[in-house]
Structure 1
């Protein structure tokens, strides 16, 4: 996994291709989750890029009438079941997200306790976050080092916790390769990823996605939700936004969250220590 710093979202970018059933699934998920359109910074808000209040209307059409739904969104929608199976039931979310929130809190506390005398306070300040340190033979900033260690701690915690509340229904750091032309997505196995990195061809992984946590019912290609842990180095009271891909990246100009939503799952969340889960 490439280094992640301890932890951007525009709505005017052109949407990736291949919306099809995924776009419809998002509408159905929205109908199940919201009835109003509160601020995107409201905890627990299923915003999906600040969807309008009236979004429930087309969603309800799809749930209640397949023929009317097909007329609205196209004949690629073969059945309501095919759409609804990618939506995570509202009753299934609380235990999953409770595990992830606890893991985020635990990871931040656990990692900072490893360095009781390294920083002037219990956590690094802005200047200390930028200072360099050596980790596993590499020179990185403290923000990057702490971010990597906190992600590792959170993943271990999530594996233990989700095994109890969602056995067989989750994947950690599953890599996906989306096709921007066709809208299709394929899995990249851990073996393939390791082989590419060991052979010096790790650059081939640049056009792939690797969420921290994927929720499904046994098939990662039928994902119901995606979650990423976000660990700000400073300003822990602010909600980190999704990273926007740079101009030279295959996924530019979209954000990480937009790519997750269009190519992996209709429900996309960020898990932030002490603040909780944020959607969209």
Structure 2
């Protein structure tokens, strides 16, 4: 899939994670892109996050659209074995553990303890682009970066076809979805990102060689506090196209039943 390199951390997002799910309220200095649903520009800042097939890029032609029923029917004949599904989930959990451990180890001494307290999560910091964000958001973004790089390596080793941070348009009424290319994504972000509202961007999509023919989906969530609790899907806020609905429920409508939430479970900071 063709793409352009942009500066690291371009297009950070505020909707990434809620405090307790690793997100918080952003300062007034934060750019408009932070208000998007997830890490919209991840694939722009790192080519590893764009659609790949077994670790290689996928060529993208004209925008394709597929109905959920058609995609699900096609995927049935290519379903992964229970053993492979178990292996994939285990590897994704290892990636989440690695992400939390690597990031907090790198920041050792920054917080009062090994992990930040709630007040520290709400405190403001500056990212590598010089933008003001909460520690909750910065940690979530940095952990996502490590987890996605890890997922890219692990899924490539398993010989799977997959996409990372692929953005989809989703028609809630018809259940059809279509791909948004990195070029279109970059253009929409430059225009403020309004047209990206209601689009979906799962972290990891295993597919049949076409990102529209989805098998399982995995989404990473990192808490900033309360590590003893499991990850939780965020609920879309008032005014959103999916207001009141859980992110996971919308993902299942778009991608099918095999949608899995992944958070760290072990590691030196558990």
The two structures share one fold, judged by TM-score above 0.5:
yes
Q: Give the Å deviation of 1:195.
A: 1.5
| Counterpart position of 1:141 | 134
Structure 1 residues 86 and 176, CA gap change in structure 2 (3 angstroms): farther
Whether contact under 8 Å (1:150, 1:231) holds in the other structure is yes
> Where in structure 2 are there 5+ consecutive unaligned residues?
1-11, 22-67
Decide which of 124, 127, 130 is 1:132's aligned counterpart. 124
| Counterpart position of 2:212 | 221
| Counterpart position of 1:259 | 250
Give a deviation string over 1:32-65, Cα, whole Å, max 9, x none.
xxxxxxxxxxxxxxxxxxxxxxxxxxxxxxxxxx
Q: Give the Å deviation of 1:274.
A: 1.4
| Counterpart position of 1:238 | 229
Give a deviation string over 1:150-202, Cα, whole Å, max 9, x none.
001111111111111133x111001111112222111111121012112x241
Structure 1 residues 176 and 86, CA gap change in structure 2 (3 angstroms): farther
Task: Give, in whole Å, the separation in 2 of the partners of 1:246 and 1:157.
Answer: 31
Task: Give, in whole Å, the separation in 2 of the partners of 1:241 and 1:144.
Answer: 16
| Counterpart position of 1:205 | 196
Greater percentage in helix: 1
| Counterpart position of 2:177 | 185
Q: Give the Å deviation of 1:83.
A: 6.2
Decide which of 136, 152, 161 is 2:145's aligned counterpart. 152
Task: Give, in whole Å, the separation in 2 of the partners of 1:156 and 1:196.
Answer: 25
Task: Give, in whole Å, the separation in 2 of the partners of 1:85 and 1:216.
Answer: 12
After superposition, the CA RMSD in angstroms is: 2.2
Q: Give the Å deviation of 1:231.
A: 0.6
Task: Give, in whole Å, the separation in 1 of the partners of 2:201 and 2:90.
Answer: 22
| Counterpart position of 1:98 | 90
Give a deviation string over 1:120-153, Cα, whole Å, max 9, x none.
1111011111111111222111111100000011
Whether contact under 8 Å (1:86, 1:266) holds in the other structure is no
> Where in structure 1 are there 5+ consecutive unaligned residues?
8-75
**Rg comparison, structure with higher value:** 1
Tell me if 1:110 matches 2:73: no
Using the size of structure 1 for normalisation, the TM-score is: 0.68
Task: Give, in whole Å, the separation in 2 of the partners of 1:231 and 1:172.
Answer: 17
Task: Give, in whole Å, the separation in 1 of the partners of 2:147 and 2:179.
Answer: 23
Task: Give, in whole Å, the separation in 2 of the partners of 1:228 and 1:190.
Answer: 20
Structure 1 residues 256 and 81, CA gap change in structure 2 (3 angstroms): closer
Q: Give the Å deviation of 1:82.
A: 3.7
Using the size of structure 2 for normalisation, the TM-score is: 0.70
Task: Give, in whole Å, the separation in 1 of the partners of 2:136 and 2:110.
Answer: 13
